[in-house]
Structure 1
Amino acid sequence: MTRRIHIVIVALLLCVVLGQWPRAAAAADAGFNGFLASMWPQARDAGISRATFEAITAGLEPDYKLPDLILPGRPKTGAPSQAEFVQVPADYLKETTISRLASYGQRLLQQHRATLDRIERQFGVPATVVLAIWGRETDFGRYRLPYDLMRVLATQAYVGRRKEQYQVEFIEAMKIVQEGHAARGNLRSSWAGATGLTQFLPSEFYKHGVDFDGDGRIDIWHSVPDALASAAQQLANKGWQSGVRWAYEVRAPANVDCTLGVPEVSRPIGEWLRQGFVPVRGQRLSAAEQAQPASLLQPEGIYGPSFLTTKNYFVIKEYNFSDLYVLFVGHVADRIRDPQPFATPWAATTQLRSKDVEAMQRHLTRLGLYADKLDGKAGMQTRAALGAYQKAAGLKVDCWPSVSVLQALQRAR
Structure 2
Amino acid sequence: MALDRVPVLRSGVLAALVLTVVAVMIGVPHPACAADAGFTRFIASLWPDAQAQGVPRATFDAETRGLAPDYKLPDLILPGRPATGAPSQAEFVQVPADYVKESSIARLAAEGQKLMAKHRAALSAIETRFGVPGAIVLAIWGRETDYGRYALPYDGLRVLATQAYVGRRKDQYRSEFILALKLIGEGVVTRKDLRSSWAGATGLTQFLPSELYKHGVDLDGDGRVDIWHSVPDALASAAQQLVNKGWQPGVRWAYEVRAPAGADCTIGVPEVTKPIREWLREGFVPVRGQKLSAAEQAQPASLLQPEGIYGPAFLTTKNYFVIKEYNFSDLYVLFVGHLADRMLSPQPFATPWSASTQLRTSAVEAMQRHLTRIGLYGDKVDGKAGMKTRAALGAYQKSAGLKVDCWPSEAVLRSIGTAR
TM-score normalised to the size of structure 2? 0.94
Q: Secondary structure at the match of 2:147?
A: coil
Q: Which of these residues, 31, 36, 43, is aligned with residue 36 of structure 1?
A: 43
Distance between the aligned counterparts of 1:24 and 1:331, measured in 2? 52
Q: Secondary structure at the match of 2:307?
A: strand
Q: Secondary structure at the match of 2:338?
A: helix
Matches within 5 A, 1:157-306: 157-306=164-313
Distance between the aligned counterparts of 2:31 and 2:228, measured in 1? 37
2:159 corresponds to: 152
2:318 corresponds to: 311
Q: Which of these residues, 63, 68, 71, is aligned with residue 56 of structure 1?
A: 63
Distance 1:17 1:154, change over 3 A: farther
Shift of 1:197: 0.4
The answer to whether structure 1 residue 112 and structure 2 residue 126 are counterparts is: no
Shift of 1:16: 7.3
Distance between the aligned counterparts of 2:16 and 2:247, measured in 1? 60
1:344 corresponds to: 351
- Give unpaired runs (5+ residues) of structure 1: 1-9
2:389 corresponds to: 382
Q: Which of these residues, 104, 119, 125, is aligned with residue 97 of structure 1?
A: 104
Distance between the aligned counterparts of 1:87 and 1:158, measured in 2? 31
2:3 corresponds to: none
The answer to whether structure 1 residue 401 and structure 2 residue 408 are counterparts is: yes
Distance 1:121 1:17, change over 3 A: farther
Residue by residue over 1:150-192, the C-alpha shift from the partner in whole angstroms, topping out at 9 and shown as x without a partner, is 0000000000010000000001111111111111111100000
- Give unpaired runs (5+ residues) of structure 2: 1-9, 21-28
Number of aligned residues: 403
Distance 1:18 1:61, change over 3 A: farther
Shift of 1:11: 9.2
Distance 1:361 1:206, change over 3 A: same
The answer to whether structure 1 residue 46 and structure 2 residue 53 are counterparts is: yes
Distance between the aligned counterparts of 1:80 and 1:91, measured in 2? 18
Residue by residue over 1:335-381, the C-alpha shift from the partner in whole angstroms, topping out at 9 and shown as x without a partner, is 00001100100000000100100000000001100000000000000
Shift of 1:24: 2.4
Shift of 1:19: 8.2
Distance between the aligned counterparts of 1:82 and 1:339, measured in 2? 28
Residue by residue over 1:203-241, the C-alpha shift from the partner in whole angstroms, topping out at 9 and shown as x without a partner, is 000000001111110000000110000000000010000
Residue by residue over 1:95-114, the C-alpha shift from the partner in whole angstroms, topping out at 9 and shown as x without a partner, is 11000000000000000101
Q: Secondary structure at the match of 2:302?
A: strand
Letter in 2 for 1:339: P
2:73 corresponds to: 66
Shift of 1:326: 0.2
1:3 corresponds to: none
1:123 corresponds to: 130
User: Residues 363 and 410 of structure 1 are in contact (CA less than 8 Å); yes or no, is this contact kept in structure 2?
Assistant: no
Residue by residue over 1:111-165, the C-alpha shift from the partner in whole angstroms, topping out at 9 and shown as x without a partner, is 0101100000000000000000000001101111000000000000000010000
Residue by residue over 1:3-32, the C-alpha shift from the partner in whole angstroms, topping out at 9 and shown as x without a partner, is xxxxxxx99699879989x93211111111
Distance 1:77 1:15, change over 3 A: farther
Letter in 1 for 2:335: F
User: Residues 258 and 398 of structure 1 are in contact (CA less than 8 Å); yes or no, is this contact kept in structure 2?
Assistant: yes
1:80 corresponds to: 87
Distance between the aligned counterparts of 1:314 and 1:28, measured in 2? 43
Q: Secondary structure at the match of 2:217?
A: coil
Distance between the aligned counterparts of 1:185 and 1:11, measured in 2? 44
Shift of 1:82: 0.2
TM-score normalised to the size of structure 1? 0.95
Moved over 6 A (4+): 13-20
Distance 1:61 1:274, change over 3 A: same
